[in-house]
Amino acid sequence: MDNNFEVIVIGSGPGGYVCAIRCAQLGLKTACVESRKTLGGTCLNVGCIPSKSLLNSSEMYHKSQTEFNNLGIEASSIKLNLSKMMNNKNKSVLTLTKGVEFLFKKNKITHLKGKGLISMNNSVTVLDDSGKKTSYKTKNIVIGTGSVPESLSEIKIDEKIIVSSTGALSFDKVPKKLIVIGGGYIGLELASVWKRLGSDVMVIESLDHIIPGMDKDISTEFQKILNKQGINFKLNCKVTRVSVLKNKAIVDFTNNKSKIIERIECHKVLVAVGRKSNIGEDILKLGIKLDNQNKIKVNSKFETSIKNIYAVGDVIDKGPMLAHKAEDEGIAVAEIIAGQAGHVNYDVIPAVVYTFPEVASIGKTEIQLKKENVKYKIGKFPFLANSRAKVNNETYGFVKIIADEKSDKVLGVSMISAVAGTMIAELALAMEFGASAEDIARTCHAHPTHSEAVKEAALSVDKRPIHF
Ligand SMILES: Cc1cc2nc3c(=O)[nH]c(=O)nc-3n(C[C@H](O)[C@H](O)[C@H](O)COP(=O)(O)OP(=O)(O)OC[C@H]3O[C@@H](n4cnc5c(N)ncnc54)[C@H](O)[C@@H]3O)c2cc1C
């Protein structure tokens, strides 16, 4: 094999593999190094994809138990077969990781198997499983090494009883009692999965609200909904210790306000307190500049502090740690390397929590706008008044649109809805094109759809909703 490339991408997550495909499309001779057995990174192997598979299966199971009867569907003896559910998840992961392999072949991207180590700004050494080292020359390097689960100094993850999200995606039986540390989207999605499958679930969160970063109205309403589903919350509580005794875990936590100390015994503990950038020794040795959170500093062209070395995805100091953000950066950096004008609009990146109902947001929250002294107006529309949500018995939540007080330009949107993750795409497009609330209000929306609530929320910005 010819060991000279124009681009070597390190890591095949959504940032890395998408970057490699775009580089190849642009005619650049490209290789992608991956240390994992399969391509696709965290997202396809132990993140977005397996979690969504379990969310989908567990939701169907739960609905079959709680809702089918009311709809006149009388099914008897519906039973959970967890190992089959896990097999289905594993099959989806395999299909999609194989899909990336196919795309690499189709685009003539060289897949280098092993750990990629940057030796210089034009050289990458790949260390394979057998210990063999091979060096490759390249004009450009793109770091897409992603992130790994974060823990707390007082907690040791063993992936048996005290697990990260990776462990919680593969329990071999439903834990009787599960404690989730962290009320962010990963913790809440997995809390939902296991609650639906029969666990007694408690979420412990150190802040006074769940899903930090999202609109306060949304987190309050969302917590109420999850509470009704039977998920218990201990907010404003800091976990001080987790110990394992026989086959159980003991979780100690303190209420930040009252200082009351509590101890709860459970069968599994999921530590979902965030993710940290995956910075290898080679990056440290080369002296690539990092920010105070240990993320690689990049400029607007995704260049690191070393010439010809770029970085994208979870490992960089820009934007949220999300797969679609990583993908857009992958495309942008490929175009920049090819001499084009790659760009990512960080003001318009949707975020979704794939529970039931789903939660989605984009743009600014009220708190952010207040901090920035921006005057705004709000339009809100509840799904209680949306015909499609009504016939589907899913009248949870609302759409909230925040628009600039003077110009009417949409600045932020958040929503709770059965299909919020799909609905938010309309708002991303609207905001990308600089739409006003009036533009959305005057756009014809199909009836009966959940999306009509977006139109109604836009009409509500000008206090003229039709159905509420
Ligand atoms: C449980 C869970 C659910 C999630 N759900 C969602 C979701 O629904 N939507 C969403 O947008 N995001 C979700 N995420 C986040 C998403 O997975 C990440 O934001 C995304 O994968 C980041 O992509 P990346 O390309 O930066 O890195 P990663 O996907 O982390 O990929 C990095 C890859 O680089 C490889 N690597 C690292 N170092 C080296 C090296 N030296 N040599 C070779 N290979 C190396 C790693 O093995 C890995 O495969 C979820 C994450 C988790 C954990």
Mutate to test the pocket of ligand 1, among 43, 138, 157 (most ligand atoms within 8 A of CB): 43
CB 280, CB 260: distance < 8 Å: no
DSSP of 99-152: HHHHHHHHTT-EEEESEEEEEETTEEEEE-TTS-EEEEEEEEEEE---EEE---
- The residue whose CA has the least distance to atom 7 of ligand 1 is 48
Q: Which among 288, 352, 286 has a CA at the least distance from the CA of 315?
A: 288
Kindly give the distance from the C-alpha atom of residue 33 to the centroid of ligand 1, in angstroms, as a whole number: 14
Angle at 275 between CA 356 and CA 243, to 5 degrees: 90
Query: Cβ contacts of residue 170 below 8 Å, gap of 6+?
Result: 86
| Mutational test site, ligand 1, from 44, 133, 145, max ligand atoms within 8 Å of CB | 145
Atom 49 (ligand 1) nearest CA: 41
pLDDT at site 174: 98
- Dihedral of CA 50/53/59/61: which sign? negative
Tell me, yes or no, if 447 is annotated catalytic.
yes
Q: Average pLDDT per run of 10 along the chain, which is 468 residues long?
A: 92 98 98 98 98 98 94 92 98 98 98 96 95 97 97 91 98 98 98 98 97 94 97 97 94 97 98 97 96 97 97 98 98 98 96 98 97 98 98 96 98 98 98 98 98 98 96
Nearest ligand 1 atom to alpha carbon 33: 43
Which mutation among 12, 38, 48, 288 tests ligand 1's pocket best, with the greatest number of atoms within 8 A of CB? 48
Backbone phi and psi for residue 399, each to the nearest 5 degrees, phi listed first: -110, 135
List, in sequence order, every residue forming a beta bridge with 352; answer none if it has no partner: 360
Q: Please check whether residue 236 is in contact with residue 148, taking contact to mean a CB–CB distance below 8 angstroms.
A: no
Residues in the chain: 468
Helices then strands (H, E): number in the chain? 14, 22
Residue located nearest, by CA, to atom 19 of ligand 1: 322
Instruction: Name the residue with the closest Cα to ligand 1, atom 3.
Output: 47
Residues in contact with ligand 1 by the CB-under-6-Å rule are 10-16, 33-36, 41-43, 47-48, 51, 115-116, 144-147, 165, 186, 278, 280, 313-315, 321-324, 326, 354
DSSP character at residue 400: E
Residues 284, 265 contacting (CB under 8 angstroms): no
Task: Compute the distance from residue 444 Cα to the ligand 1 centre, in Å.
Answer: 38
User: Residue 147 Cα, ligand 1 centroid: separation in angstroms?
Assistant: 6
Q: Among residues 249, 248, 205, 244, which one has the least CA distance to residue 223?
A: 205
User: What stretches of 266-349 show up as alpha helix (H) in DSSP?
Assistant: 281-286, 323-337
> What is the structure's pLDDT at 121?
84
Q: Residue 107 has which token pair?
A: 């685009």
- pLDDT at 154 (0 to 100): 84
- Give 259 Cα–ligand 1 centroid separation in angstroms: 37
Distance from Cα 272 to the centre of ligand 1, integer Å: 15
| CA 416 to the chain's CA centroid | 16
Residue 255, token pair as written in the block: 């209420």
Ligand 1 atom index nearest CA of 16: 25
Instruction: Compute the distance from residue 162 Cα to the ligand 1 centre, in Å.
Output: 21
Q: Can you give the pLDDT at residue 1? A: 67
**DSSP-assigned letters across all residues of 134-199:** EEEEEEEEEE---EEE---TT----SSSEE-HHHHT--SS--SEEEEE--SHHHHHHHHHHHHTT-
Task: Using CA atoms of 176, 177, 179, 180 in order, give the dihedral in degrees to the nearest 10.
Answer: 40
Cis peptide preceding 357, ω within 30 of 0: yes
Of the listed 111, 447, 450, 467, which one is catalytic?
A: 447
Tell me whether residue 250 is exposed, middle or buried, using C-beta atoms within 10 angstroms of its C-beta: 0 to 12, 13 to 18, 19 or more: middle
CA of 124 to the centre of ligand 1 (A): 21
Q: What is the pTM of this model?
A: 0.97
Q: Measured from the CA of 48, which atom of ligand 1 is nearest?
A: 5
